Amino acid sequence: KRLIAPAKEYGKKVLMHTDGKMDNILPILYDVGIDVAHPIEPESNDLAEVKKTWAGKMALIGNIPTVLLAYGSTEEIEEKVREYCVNVGPGGGWVLGSSTSIMDGIPPENFVTMIRAAHKYGRYGSLGQAVELEDA
């Protein structure tokens, strides 16, 4: 708490990067005042379940597998982004991102596919539901 107190005094949000299974560590991060957890890795965490537990308390970043970004087709990447945007996006509190750092082995076109799909599917309609944009 002492380490993040200066940021909190200035009204800033605090993000913590930690890899792996988050079930046991998220309560600790929350108790010390962390506002955002990064990344939520799909290999270790069920993003929908994590969001259910922490909605309104802590924002979450991540969940697009870097293995998919490295070896998947553009169609598979777009579908995974759409799946998360539709199933996890509504209600906010989640930022789409990769499950870990973007490495040299990830083809640039696959990263761009993730970003374009985020623009296409990561929007909300008037009722807060995810909507697909025609011109993305």
**Over 80: is that where the pLDDT of 133 sits?**
no
* Count of domains for the chain: 1
**Over 60: is that where the pLDDT of 88 sits?**
yes
Cα 7 to Cα 49: distance, rounded to the nearest angstrom: 29
Per the domain annotation, does 39 fall within a domain? yes
Q: Evaluate the CA torsion angle 50, 51, 56, 59 in order and state its sign.
A: positive
Determine the pLDDT at residue 125: 62
Instruction: Work out the average pLDDT over 60-73.
Output: 95
Determine the pLDDT at residue 136: 46
Per the domain annotation, does 114 fall within a domain? yes
Look up the pTM and report it: 0.84
Binned at pLDDT 50, 70 and 90, residue 134 comes out as low
Q: Evaluate the CA torsion angle 99, 89, 83, 124 in order and state its sign.
A: negative
Q: What is the CATH number for 22?
A: 3.20.20.210
Per the domain annotation, does 86 fall within a domain? yes
Determine the pLDDT at residue 13: 96
Domain ranges, residue 11? 5-131
